[in-house]
Each structure stands twice: as C-alpha cells, then as structure tokens.
Amino acid sequence: MKKFVRSIALVLAAVLVFGMTALAATSSETTNTSLSDVEKKLLDDAVEIGYSTTGDGITVGPVSADWLKRAKDYVAAHPEVVKGEVLTCVDIRHNGAATVTFNCKYFTGNGPFYVLHYDASDWETGAYNENNWKLIAVTKNADGTYSFTSPSFSPFAFISGTAGSAVVAPKTGEVIAISAILALIMMAGAVVCAKKARLQK
C-alpha cells in the first residue's frame, strides 16, 4: 500500500513539473511574440476609429510602427506642408473615392485637423517615397464626429496642426523696400500719363 501511495505521489509530482515547464515555455513564447507599446497603441486606435467609422465598404486596420515613424519624419521635415503633431496612423481601405466619417479621441477643440494620406496603390510592396504623402483637411461635424474625402485609400496619419505654406512673409526691411519700389513705379506712370495728356492738347 505504501509503495502504491509513493508511486501515485511520484506520478503527480512528474505531472506538476511537466505542467510548470510547459507553462513557462508558453509564457516565454508569448513574451517573444508580444507587440511593442507603439504597435499596441496603433492596434487600439485602429479598433476604436474603425468601430466608429461610417461609410459603405470602408474598413479600418492597424499599420506597422514604421508607418507612424515615416509620417512623423515627413511632418518634421516639411513644415511648408503642415505644422503639427502626428497623433496616430491607421490603414483605411475602400474601393475608390469615398467620404469617411469617424470619431477620434485625439482630436480635441476646434482644430484645425488633417489627415496625411500616403497615396500609392503599391504601398504594401513598393519602395517607400515620401513624395507620396498628400495632406487632406478634416471637417468637424455638428455632432462631434469628423469627416474627410479621399480619392483613394491606404495609410492615413491623423494630425493636429496647421497647413504650412511655401510662401515666406517678407521681413520689415523688405516691406519698406518693396513699398518704395511700388511708389517709384506709380510716380513714373503718373509722369508718362501727364506727358501724354500734354501732347494730346
């Protein structure tokens, strides 16, 4: 009887050790394949924005962290296009042009808000080209939702900021110089007109 009890105890111990080993292995595999904090954020954002999105045939999914970085790098390098903060980035898909209406927790206040669209049909397999980013204004609706219209769909970065401009305002000295030149031109024109009037008399 004692031998039987001892045997049962050994079997139970072996099962317990095996179970703990398997659990540890599973835990290690889960850790190795877990998402980064940025990827978790992008996934959560895609789920939240996708859940609130309206529009026939429109789907929303996550993008890799690389696309968020590319959008941020583009905004940092091109203040003439847009000046602001890249809040998140998602993959919005639709066959052809469409208007997307959605909620976004990152859009607060009255804006302005924009989406930066990577406009390339081969964005998943083709070579990255920063010139494919296109800025689209976002409209805030009366019910608190947001909308924008796009001719095509792929990654969209959500931005809070202002549209940039390649036109640089002249400095004070430049304004004075330009005003003086304009005054001289107007004076010359007046002299020419006066001479013509005298000749006609």
How many whole angstroms from its chain centre is CA 27? 34
Q: Is residue 168 part of a domain?
A: no
Q: Write down how long the chain is.
A: 201
| Bond from prior residue into 155 cis (ω within 30 degrees of 0) | no
3 state DSSP class of 17: helix
Q: What is the DSSP letter of 60?
A: E
Could you identify the residue written with the tokens 């000749």?
199
Q: Is there a contact between 21 and 29 (Cβ–Cβ < 8 Å)?
A: no
Q: Is residue 67 part of a domain?
A: yes
Q: Is residue 186 part of a domain?
A: no
Is residue 105 domain-shared with residue 18, that is, in the same domain?
no
Q: Is residue 28 part of a domain?
A: yes
Q: Is residue 197 part of a domain?
A: no
What are the pLDDT tens digits along the chain (201 aa)? Answer: 433 333 433 333 333 333 433 434 444 343 345 778 999 999 999 999 998 898 788 999 999 999 999 999 999 999 999 999 999 999 999 988 999 999 999 998 888 999 999 999 999 999 999 999 999 999 999 999 999 999 999 999 999 988 875 433 333 443 334 444 444 445 555 444 455 555 555
User: What's residue 179's pLDDT?
Assistant: 43
Q: Is there a contact between 100 and 145 (Cβ–Cβ < 8 Å)?
A: no
Is residue 27 domain-shared with residue 116, that is, in the same domain?
no
Is residue 58 domain-shared with residue 156, that is, in the same domain?
yes
Is residue 141 domain-shared with residue 44, that is, in the same domain?
yes
CATH of the domain at 103: 2.60.220
Domain count, the chain: 2
Is residue 28 domain-shared with residue 61, that is, in the same domain?
no
User: What's residue 55's pLDDT?
Assistant: 78
Is residue 5 domain-shared with residue 41, that is, in the same domain?
no
Is residue 138 domain-shared with residue 78, that is, in the same domain?
yes
Cα–Cα dist 160/110, whole Å: 10
Q: Is residue 131 part of a domain?
A: yes
Is residue 11 domain-shared with residue 61, that is, in the same domain?
no
Count Cα atoms within 13 angstroms, Cβ side, for 40. Answer: 5
How many whole angstroms from its chain centre is CA 35? 20
Q: Is residue 182 part of a domain?
A: no
How much of the chain is helix, strand and coil, in % rounded to 5?
Answer: 45, 25, 30
Is residue 112 domain-shared with residue 156, that is, in the same domain?
yes
Is residue 59 domain-shared with residue 100, that is, in the same domain?
yes
Burial 141-164 (b: 16+ CB within 10 A, else e): eeeebbebebebbbbbbbbbbeee
User: What's residue 199's pLDDT?
Assistant: 52
Q: Is residue 185 part of a domain?
A: no
3 state DSSP class of 179: helix
Is residue 45 domain-shared with residue 6, that is, in the same domain?
no
Rounded to 10°, the helix 65-77/37-52 angle is 90
Range of the domain at 65: 37-163
Is residue 22 domain-shared with residue 53, that is, in the same domain?
no
User: What's residue 72's pLDDT?
Assistant: 96
